[in-house]
Amino acid sequence: MASLLAIIVLSPLLLPVIIGLKLTGEGHVFYAQERVGRGGQRFKILKFATMLKNSPNMAGGDITVGRDPRVLPFGHFLRKTKINELPQLFNILAGGMSVIGPRPLTPRVAALFPPQHWQNIQDLRPGLSGLGSIAFRDEEKLLNAADDRERVYKELIVPYKMALEDWYARNRSLWVDLKLVVGTIVAVLKPEFDIAQFFSGLPERSPALVSFMGAVKP
């Protein structure tokens, strides 16, 4: 299985991260959080622990922003490089996730999306990466610049994420998934990368979203 092979190949990277978290964090390495999966089923997503243990009960809740004071020092590096997401390879191995698909959301954030959206993607397993993940890889920085984070997320980010995931549900194929895997790698290495360079016919951002993203310094 591809996920098992990836775990083996990446083990030289995963082991130092585990040691680093043990030495610099609060003693816990992994963080399991409830997310909404295929067909609305709840499951526990795995991540490397990058935030204070009590962070869900602190200001900000389950919406994380750039320079979030709840993020541990080593956690900033893990989040920026997306290494914190790698434990989800075990979710993929267990069958609850796939490599590419809609990003799984917490129940509270998922409630910001209308029921019709969940019907459109109900057959898709959530992904380690996907169109929405790549397009909003700097989501924390965007929300940090917002005066009303939940309003910006609901009114600007949610509609475009829905459009992208609906597009993926209609156009998914092995070729599309392979391009998104490559796009994920390129996006990590090149912050200015635009996923629209890989696909024609993607939904366009709303003028309000374009204006807001343009106002946020790179």
Looking at the chain, list the stretches that DSSP marks H as alpha helix, in order from N- to C-terminal side.
2-24, 73-81, 88-94, 107-110, 115-120, 131-135, 139-144, 149-152, 158-171, 174-189, 207-215
CB atoms inside a 10 Å sphere around CB 152: 18
pLDDT at residue 45, rounded to an integer: 94
- What are the phi and psi torsion angles at 12 (to 5°)? -65, -25
Instruction: Give me the half-sphere count of Cα atoms (radius 13 Å) on the Cβ side of residue 143.
Output: 21
pLDDT at residue 125, rounded to an integer: 95
d(Cα 45, Cα 101) in Å, to the nearest integer?
Answer: 14
Question: Which pair of tokens denotes residue 203?
Answer: 């939904």
In the three-class reduction of DSSP (H, G, I as helix; E, B as strand; rest coil), residue 102 is classed as coil
pLDDT at residue 60, rounded to an integer: 52
pLDDT at residue 208, rounded to an integer: 92
pLDDT at residue 126, rounded to an integer: 95
Residue ranges making up the domain that contains 21: 2-215
d(Cα 65, Cα 211) in Å, to the nearest integer?
Answer: 19
pLDDT at residue 53, rounded to an integer: 65
pLDDT at residue 56, rounded to an integer: 57
Specify the number of domains making up the chain: 1
Closest CA to 29 of 37, 19, 41: 19
Q: What is the residue-level pLDDT of the chain in tens, covering all 218 positions?
A: 677 777 788 888 888 888 888 887 667 788 898 999 999 899 999 998 887 665 555 555 555 545 666 777 777 888 888 888 899 999 999 999 999 999 999 999 999 999 999 999 999 999 999 999 999 988 888 888 888 888 999 999 999 999 999 999 999 999 999 999 999 999 988 878 899 889 989 999 999 999 988 877 65
Is pTM, for the whole model, over 0.85? no
